[in-house]
Structures are given as structure tokens and as C-alpha cells.
Amino acid sequence: MVILPAIDIKDGTCVRLFRGDYSTAEKVADNFLDTAKSFEAAGAEWIHMVDLDGAKEGRPVNTKIYTDVAEKTNLKVEVGGGIRNIETIDEYLKMGISRVILGSAALKNPQLVKDAVERFGSEKIVVGIDAKNGLVATEGWLETSNVNYIDLANKMISYGVKYFIFTDISKDGTLSGVNAEQLKALYDGTHGECKIIASGGVHTIKDIRICKDMGLYGTICGKSIYTGSLDLKKAIELASMKSFLTCFYVLDHCFSINSEDDLGGILGQMAPDMLVDGMPIDMADLEDWEDVCPDYPSSADEFIKRIDEFLIKIGLNFEKTRDLIKTPEILSYVKTAEAKADVTCKKHDY
């Protein structure tokens, strides 16, 4: 799962709102670039940025701030707020922004979403669905529609949208925990046809674990980082950890069956200082796994496929093991490996 630390900009300043109310804007950092660099130092690969002025005015206002982050860090930047036409999307992408968020436009101008996906590809477009009591809100959360958030998501999926950010506005900026019920309803209601990013209410590492266990693609963290209730580095480690440990336990099981392969050798290459059940694991050694498994796979078959890709990526071609991981026995073992990984994570407070 991907962790996206957040910076919201209002009047050129890093702020957080309480339940989307602009009058509650609170300054949370002195310098946007220093803040972004601190996120990068903690291990973040993505940053979520919102132009609050742009969302309210219906046009980009703080563009240079976002392009500066894209130019002066190695972070992948996703930006939303005030993006209402194809020209703005094109300009942002040409300036180095990795992904553009379409919020109000998804409801008010769905043709724009369809055109954007067709022109720029589904990897470059994310639809932000912000809801109050399950109904979609627009224009910087100042207007509420009568459209159900799951219905809008499915409509967007039919247009080729792959990524969604879901925000329960009543949770945003409250540190009261994610709305697991609505997130689960969205996950189930879209039938695994999209990648969901949770937003709003994240408070502690428990919320990261909830989103991870739900199978979500990502989680946005804002106020929790600034108040210190969430350790960003630890959140990133947890997001990466469970799927890697599941991979480890599956491979360990394979090696226990096929003793001709060198378990010690492969573990040495995967993470030289790994203790696994005893932790800690040096996360710098897990980059190859993250490349092939950035989010938690939606099925055992998908998980096995990614383990196969991982073995190839790290240059280990144990044919018997690669054949073995595709068998029904190992497919059925994935659930056991997941349970073991979960126990290990919780044992070490991940």
C-alpha cells in the first residue's frame, strides 16, 4: 500500500482544515518545500497536494508551489483543486506533475474525465470523490449533490478511471479514524475494478493497518503527521511490510518443500539483516519487492504472479521453486502466510 503525506495550500501557506471548513484553516508548516523534503527523507515516494484556493475559485492558483516540489524533490506529486479543463491537466503533466486529481469535474463534467483518461492514460488521472453522508460534494466541499459516492465511482470506472481518492468530509482533519465502513462499501461496490486511496480521519498506525488489511491501494495522511500522532516512517514501513512478509512466508514454505534450493542464499539477497519474526527488517532492501508489489494484491493468484516477478527481478531463477509457487497447494497457503504476516506485524507494533 502507498502512503501519501499531504500538503494543502491556502494563500500560499501549508494548512489543514477541519471537516472541509475554510474558516478553520490552521497553519501546520512554515515552508512547503522543507516539509516535502522531510516526507521524502521519511521514505515517502508520493505526495498529495491540494490547491484549496483553486478548489474554491475553480482555477489553479498555487501552481508554482506544486511544480517546485516536483522539480526540487524526487517525490511523485499528485495535485488537485481547481482543475476544470483539459488544458490545465496538460500543463500540469508537462510541468512534471505525476497525477492529476479531478474532483468537481467528475460530477459536473464527466466528459472531461473520459477525455482526460483517453488522452493521458489512466495512470495520470485520479478522481477525487468527497462525500457528506454518502453524497458527493463539490466546489471545495461547499456544495452537496444527491449522487451516491459508489454510483459515481462505478460511472467513472465505465469511463476508464483506475484510481480514486475517497474522502469522508465529516472525518477530514478530525483525527477520529478512517471511515472503514464507507471505504469497505466502496471497495466491495466497485468489485476490485479500481485502486482506492483513503483520505480523512487518519489518526494513528491503527488506521494504516485498517486500510492495509482492507486491500486499499493507498492512504493519505495529513494532520496526523503534523500533530505527531502518526509516525510517517513507521506508516510507510507498515504499508510495505505485510505484503513482503507474506511473500517471505510463501517462499519459506516453498523452500521447506523443495530442499534443493538454498533458502539462506535467497534470504541473504532479499534482506541481509533480516530477522523476520524477530524483526527488524531493513526496508531499504525491500525496494525490489515494492517495484513489483506496490499495493496489496487482490487475490492469491495475483500474489503468486508477483512473487514470480520478484524472483526474476532479483536475479534468482530457481526453476523448481518458481514451478512450485504456481501449484494449488501454494495458492491455498497464501492465506496462512497472510495470517502469519499479520501476527508478525502486530507483534512488533506495525
Per-residue cell: 164: 480514486
Say whether 308 is catalytic. Answer: no
Say whether 288 is catalytic. Answer: no
Angle at 43 between CA 224 and CA 235, to 5 degrees: 40
Q: Which residue has the cell 469511463?
A: 159
Of the candidates 30, 34, 68, 130, the residue annotated as catalytic is 130
Can you tell me the distance from the alpha carbon of 124 to that of 17, in angstroms, rounded to the nearest whole number?
A: 26
Quick check: helix, strand or coil at residue 306? helix
Q: Can you list the positions of beta strands (E) in the chain?
A: 2-10, 13-18, 21-29, 46-51, 76-80, 99-102, 125-132, 135-138, 143-148, 163-168, 195-199, 218-221
The Cα-based distances of 180 to 7, 104, 186, 330 in angstroms read: 23, 23, 10, 31
Number of alpha carbons in the 13 Å side-chain half-sphere of residue 3 = 28
Active site residues per annotation: 8, 130
